Chain A
Amino acid sequence: MTALSRERIGTLLARQGILIAFAIFIIAFTLANPKFLTVDNVFSVIRSSAILGVMALGVTFVVISGNLDLSVGSMMSFSTIVVLDLHDKIGPLLAIPAMFAMTLALGALIGLLVGYLKLNSLIVTLGMLSAIHGLTLTYSGGKNMDIADKEGTWFSVFGQGTALGVPVPILMFLALAALLGIVLAKTPFGRKVYAVGGNGTAATFAGIRRARTVFTCYLISAGCVATAGLIQASRSLGSQNTVGQGLELEVLAAVILGGASLMGGSGTVFKTVIGVLILGFIQNGLLLMGLQFYVQFVVTWIIIILAVWLDIAAKRGRLWSPIA
């Protein structure tokens, strides 16, 4: 009986190491400041994390398929600026689909280069990081983009609205996570993504069209980025050209922290969500503790390393590697 339950605890630890790490941080931060776990604060953290989170959902697909996407930060700036600009020109009802179409076109271009032309995704998306930034600046002329009538537009609902007492960005994040979670775990397409990332050659021999799968992953990523841009634009109703700058690395950190492998073939949407929440709660927790901000950079890194270590330790059942 005891042996059995110990074994079960072991399996649970191995599967959900990152979840346990998450729980430990939450408890530690709550002890440091009781206000940490208030409904208002939790909502505000998840709402702030929603933008990063929505982007991470799409990148999860790309990473599992064995590729990288470093262009998501620039692309998010692009969609934010475009939707804000078009809002005043053609109205929100047309601006939103127009922005989605443009962002998806960028995703399709990357998918074409990486999927069909088989170019290295690191080079392609690193180049797109600058190229899309340039595109955004060319589009806006470098100006901040602001909606003229901030009070009178329904466009603010995506970033600032609430439904049933829950902020809309949180609902969008969770709904998209549920949808993409099902796509990845329960559909033939999802299994193809794992197969292509796990062993591309074997996938080809199994009759999977690799190029098409990779292409679709980048489309999903671009769709997520467009959604994130929509939330961002709606939340502040105005934006700088650099609003998404640097987010690509945070997104990647969240995805990898959640346990997806950079080599492809493993990871889940649920774990990415946990990765995103860990990053969001660390940032907020450190702010609430009032640590001096130069120190925060270092502490953030230490916590991430601790989380990764806990995850690995849980998987192998001991803290140190048996093979040194």
Chain B
Amino acid sequence: MTLRTTLALSAAAAALTLGGAAAAETMKIGITQNNVGVDSYQTTYEKAFIAAAEANADVETVVLDAGGDVARQIAQMEDLIQQEVDAIIIWPTNGEAVIPAVRKAHTAGIPVIVTNSNIAEPGFDFVASFSGPDNITQGARSAEIMCDKFKDMGIENEAQIVQISGQPGYTTAIERAKGFEDRLPEVCPNVTLMETQPGDWNREKSQQVMEAFLVKYDDIDGVYSGDDNMGVGALNAAKAAGREGIIFVGATNFAVGYEAMAAGEYWGSIYQSPVDDAEAALKTAIDVLNGVDVPFLNYFDTPKITQDNMGDYTKPVF
């Protein structure tokens, strides 16, 4: 991956130097992604982004990947500034650490669009627009899905749940947990959230955490996981321990989560398409460059999906 990125980078740099003057009309948009290949979401995102850019004759792109490394992402930002691209899209590896690099681009007069997960608030002044899912709303919707299900079952007054959150320090993880924790007491005030532990977006880790929860708590009615990948890990733990009747709710519906829903083992999730995510980011960048008025927080919709309405959605490709 490193080699490929380097090759892509040098090829792109060469292409830009040669064709820079000739193609003055086209927009040059650079993107530095978080960690393509770490999961299928990011892989699909990259493909969708490239496809969308190729479909648009006015757009020329430089596609980079930080490989999850903050230092590399900062270096890539500097490269893009050096290449004088018209706009930079960044999928932050870390919401805090990239702020100085974002500021540098802003100072150089290059609008920065943050995609997927926002940077921390002190950096907002240097960002043209954030394009991505509203993770707080996602967390809130997951709370509603779980609460509605408990009401159907008639246990909304005594249910006890646990939460498996994403990687500590990752904005998406923090926001989803916050959305969930704030909304749950509003819709189901008597449901108890007993404990939260991180599953690090990792199925195996999440399975271990759930095993510990199952030992610790004799009665668990629901599990909220920061994404379906972790949710399925928790589900595996419950199945192995022979504990039935637990309501699993996740976010970012993955293919495995979709399948578990079809099998009746997993209740619901939030449908978030990486294709929508990528296309929204590119469109936001183009709109900013064309001077269209774009809201600072430019969210795309991520609806609820449960066993009841899953027929309306196609199985996620990731």
Determine, out of B182-190, B198-206, B275-283, the stretch whose residues face the partner at the interface: B198-206
- Are B168's CB and A294's CB within 8 A? yes
Residues of A within 8 A of B216 (CB): 33, 35, 287-288, 290
How far apart are the CA atoms of A234 and B159 in the complex, in Å? 33
- Are B236's CB and A236's CB within 8 A? yes
From A41, A48, A142, A144, name the one whose CB has the most chain B CB atoms within 10 angstroms: A142
- Are A239's CB and B1's CB within 8 A? no
Please name the residue on chain A nearest to B217 by beta carbon: A35
Residues of B within 8 A of A243 (CB): 202-204
List 22 interface pairs A-B (beta carbons < 8 Å), by A numbering.
A44-B212, A48-B208, A133-B1, A137-B1, A138-B1, A142-B39, A142-B40, A142-B42, A143-B318, A144-B256, A144-B318, A146-B256, A235-B204, A235-B236, A236-B207, A238-B256, A239-B203, A242-B39, A242-B202, A284-B212, A287-B213, A287-B216
Please name the residue on chain A nearest to B42 by beta carbon: A142
Q: B255 contacts which of A40, A146, A241 (Cβ < 8 Å)?
A: A146
Q: A134 contacts which of B2, B40, B197 (Cβ < 8 Å)?
A: B2
A-side interface residues, number (CB < 8 Å)? 35
Residues of B within 8 A of A284 (CB): 208, 212
Q: A35 contacts which of B202, B215, B256 (Cβ < 8 Å)?
A: B215
Apart from A35-B215, A232-B204, 15 more pairs, CB < 8 Å: A35-B216, A38-B215, A41-B212, A44-B212, A144-B318, A238-B203, A238-B256, A240-B202, A242-B39, A243-B202, A243-B204, A283-B208, A287-B209, A287-B213, A288-B215
Residues of A within 8 A of B256 (CB): 144, 146, 238
A293 at the interface (CB under 8 A from B): yes
Residues of A within 8 A of B1 (CB): 133-134, 137-138
Residues of A within 8 A of B202 (CB): 240, 242-243
- Are A241's CB and B197's CB within 8 A? no
In the complex where A130-B2, A144-B254 touch, is A40 in contact with B215 (Cβ < 8 A)?
yes
A16 at the interface (CB under 8 A from B): no
One digit per residue, 1 when the CB lies within 8 angstroms of any chain B CB and 0 when it does not, for chain A 26-40 equals: 000000010100101
- Are B40's CB and A143's CB within 8 A? yes
One digit per residue, 1 when the CB lies within 8 angstroms of any chain B CB and 0 when it does not, for chain A 211-249 equals: 000000000000000000000100110111111000000
How far apart are the CA atoms of A137 and B39 in the complex, in Å? 10
Residues of A within 8 A of B215 (CB): 35, 38, 40-41, 44, 288
Residues of B within 8 A of A141 (CB): 43
B37 at the interface (CB under 8 A from A): yes
Q: B43 contacts which of A41, A44, A143, A288 (Cβ < 8 Å)?
A: A143
In the complex where A142-B42, A143-B40 touch, is A293 in contact with B203 (Cβ < 8 A)?
no
Q: Chain B: interface residue count, which band?
A: 35 or more
Interface of chain B, main secondary structure: helix
B3 at the interface (CB under 8 A from A): yes
A160 at the interface (CB under 8 A from B): yes
B121 at the interface (CB under 8 A from A): no
Residues of A within 8 A of B36 (CB): 142
Residues of A within 8 A of B236 (CB): 235-236
Interface of chain A residues 66 through 88 with chain B (CB within 8 A)? none
Please name the residue on chain A nearest to B211 by beta carbon: A44
B240 at the interface (CB under 8 A from A): yes
Interface of chain A residues 280 through 304 with chain B (CB within 8 A)? 283-284, 287-288, 290, 293-294
In the complex where A137-B1, A160-B240 touch, is A293 in contact with B39 (Cβ < 8 A)?
no
Residues of B within 8 A of A33 (CB): 216
How far apart are the CA atoms of A242 and B207 in the complex, in Å? 16
In the complex where A48-B211, A134-B1, A236-B204 touch, is A293 in contact with B197 (Cβ < 8 A)?
yes
How far apart are the CA atoms of A158 and B168 in the complex, in Å? 31
Please name the residue on chain B nearest to A283 by beta carbon: B208
Residues of B within 8 A of A143 (CB): 40, 43, 318
Q: Chain B nearest CB: distance from A3 CB in Å?
A: 46
- Are B203's CB and A287's CB within 8 A? no
One digit per residue, 1 when the CB lies within 8 angstroms of any chain A CB and 0 when it does not, for chain B 289-312 equals: 000000000000000000000000
From B36, B203, B233, B318, name the one whose CB has the most chain A CB atoms within 10 angstroms: B203
